[in-house]
Structure 1
Amino acid sequence: MKENAPKKIRFQTLRTLWVPLAIGVVTVAALAAVVGMVWKDYRTAMMDSQTRQMELVVQSTADSIRVLLEEYADRLDSIAEKAQAGKAFRPTVARSDTIRDVWLENSNGEVIYSCYGLSAVCDVPITRTEDISYWQYHSGGEHYLVMKRKAGDETVCLVVDSTVMYQQLISEIHVGRNGYIMIKNDDNLVVMHPEAVQWGIKVVEGRQRIYQGKELDMSSLSELLRAQQEEESGTLDYYSYWWSDPALPRVHKISAFRHLDVGSSFWIVSAVVDYDDFYEPVQQSFVKVVLIFGGVALVLVLFMFQMFRLQERDRRSATEISDLKTLNQTLEELHRSEESLAHGQRLQMMGTLTGGIAHEFNNFLTPITGYADLIMADADPGSEIYDNAMEISEAAQKAQEVVKQISSMSRKNVETVYDAVSVEGLLHQTRKLVETNCPKNVELKEENELSGECVLGNATQLQQVLLNISINAIHAIGAEGGKLTIRGSVVPRSELAALFPEEKISEEWSSYVCLSVTDTGCGMDRETMQHIFEPFFTTKKTGEGTGLGLALADQIIRTHRGRIRAESTIGRGTTFYVYLPVLEQQQEREQLQWGVDSKLRILAADDNNKVLDLLDKDLSALGLSVSTCSRRGELRQLLEQQPFDVLAIDESLMSSSGVDFCMAIRGRYPGMTRIVMTNAPTREIVDARSHGVIDGYVVKPVSASTLLAQIRSSRKE
Structure 2
Amino acid sequence: MKLKQIFLPLAKPFNRALVAAITAMIIFMVAVVYFGLVIAKRYRSALTDNQSGAMLQTVQSMADSLEALFLEYNSDLKAYCQIIDSGNEITREICESYVDSHKPLVAGIYIETHGEPIIYGENENWNGKISRIYSSSKMDGKTVLHLVRFESNWMGLLLSHQRENGLSASIIINLKHFYEGRLAKFHFGDEGYFVIKDSKGIILLHPEERQWGIQVIEGRNELYPGKDMRSLKKMIDNQLEGKTGIETYTSYWWTQEGSPRSKKISAYAPVPLGEDFLVVSAVIKADEIDETITKSLSNMFLLFGTFTFGVISMISYMMYLYAQNRKHSETAAYFAKMNDVLEQMHRSEENIAHQQRLQIIGTMTGGIAHEFNNLLTPIMGYAELLMLELSEDSDAYSSANEIYDASLKAKDIIQQLAGMSRKNIESAFKTLNAKDLILKALKMVKTICPENIQLIDSVNLDDECILGNTTQLNQAILNICMNAVHAIGHANGHLQVVAAKVGKTELLEISDMERNEESWNYYLRIDIIDDGCGMSKAVMKQMFEPFFTTKKSGQGTGLGLSVTEQIVTAHRGYIYAHSVLGSGTVFHLYFPIVSDENHQNISNDFSTSLKEQEKKISLLIVDDNRKVLNQLEKNFKKLPVALTCATNFEAARKELSTKRFDVIALEAYINGDSAIDFCMSIHQHEPTIKIIMADMIDRELAEARQSHIINDYVMKPVSVHTLLRTMKGTAHSLDLR
Given the two structures, how large is their TM-score scaled by the length of structure 1? 0.50
